Amino acid sequence: MDAAYISALAALSGSAIGGVTSLAASWLSQTSQARIQRLAEDIARRQNLYNSFIEEASKLYGKALVSNTEEITDFVGLYTLVSRMRVQSPSRVIDAAERVIRKIVDANLSPNKTLADLHDAKKDYEIDLLIDFSEACRADLHQFRS
């Protein structure tokens, strides 16, 4: 074989290998970036969902402590948030959210509280119904950061 052919084949082979390598690196980079973007969006979506639940539960709990209403429609928003959590959150978060709802219902069925009652309850850590839920959410979100 002629030396010119060998040189031409070597150059073409080098170009082909370089092109394939560049293509593979670009594809891997794009795939990795897309995965990171999806993960960031999932974290943000869960954070917003958890924040909405905390806000809604806090409002209903505060209302339940001072007035005994049996308005089931007040709980629709809270149950909607829990249903959304069932789609994307682990069972620990959902169980904690359901316990929060039960505590709010119990507060609605119990006598109204005074400021002195709340002061005594705070000493016994009875008033902060969102501790378990918050910790479950933190654990859920922490798994993505590791």
Is there a domain that residue 134 lies in? yes
Is there a domain that residue 47 lies in? yes
pLDDT of residue 65: 80
Q: Which long-range contacts (CB under 8 A, 24 or more apart) does 135-142 make?
A: 135/96, 136/90, 136/92, 136/93, 136/95, 136/96, 137/46, 137/50, 137/93, 137/96, 139/92, 140/46, 140/89, 140/90, 140/92, 140/93, 141/43, 141/46, 141/47, 141/50
Q: Give the pLDDT confidence of 65-121 residue by residue, as tens digits.
A: 887 766 788 889 999 999 999 999 999 999 999 999 999 988 888 877 777 776 676
Domain that holds residue 141: 42-145
Q: Give the pLDDT confidence of 32-59 residue by residue, as tens digits.
A: 898 889 888 999 999 999 999 999 999 9
Is there a domain that residue 100 lies in? yes
Q: What is the largest CA-CA distance in the chain?
A: 100
Is there a domain that residue 6 lies in? no
Q: How many domains does the chain have?
A: 1
pTM check: above 0.85:
no
Is there a domain that residue 48 lies in? yes
Return d(Cα 110, Cα 126) in angstroms, integer.
Answer: 14
Q: How far is CA 114 from CA 68, 111, 122, 128, in A?
A: 13, 10, 12, 16
Is there a domain that residue 32 lies in? no
